[in-house]
Amino acid sequence: MPVIKSKNFTLRPYKKSDEKSLILNINNKKIYRNMSRVPYPYTSKDANEWITQTFKKAKKKESNEVNFAIAVAGEVAGGISLFDISGHKAEIGYWLGENYWGQGIMSAACKLVTKFGLEKLKLIRIYAFVFPWNKASMKVLRWAYFG
């Protein structure tokens, strides 16, 4: 699993020590409302299961998922994944803690993960689903892909 560094954050594998910052940043109704696979409230058990699951998937030679923690100053501020990888296509999904909104982190992370998917995984199509009320996510995707 690669580590991708940018000026303001690092995309890296999850670590056992990420549990506290993961819970702190994802346990938010505003995030939960826009996610299809995240429980609320997000508990220590949920964080431990997620981190363990990402370890297992990263070890598989051919996994249908790649998960990155978005680390700011060493803490998990968000997450971004390519999942349902099948042949030449994958879905991208992401979340970012509310304290980090409006800083361009997610648009930059989307660009970096898309580049990784196209170049390293040889994907041709990366797509996303956005809830109709999530205008911020629509802007992220537009900015990330169209500048």
The contacts of residue 127 (CB under 8 Å, 6+ apart) are 89, 90, 91, 92
**Tokens 């802007």, residue located:** 139
What is the DSSP code string of 100-120? GTTSSHHHHHHHHHHHHHHHT
Single out the residue of 53, 137, 45 nearest to residue 94, CA to CA: 137
The DSSP code for 47 is: H
Alpha-carbon distance values, 140 to 16, 18, 34, 109 (Å): 29, 25, 14, 10
Query: Cα(37)–Cα(66) distance, rounded to whole angstroms?
Result: 15
What is the reported pLDDT for 147? 67
What is the reported pLDDT for 60? 84
The pTM (predicted TM-score) of the whole model is: 0.95
Read off the tokens for 67. Answer: 């998960």
List, run by run, the mean pLDDT of 10-residue segments along the chain (147 residues). 94 97 97 94 97 91 92 97 96 97 95 96 96 95 80
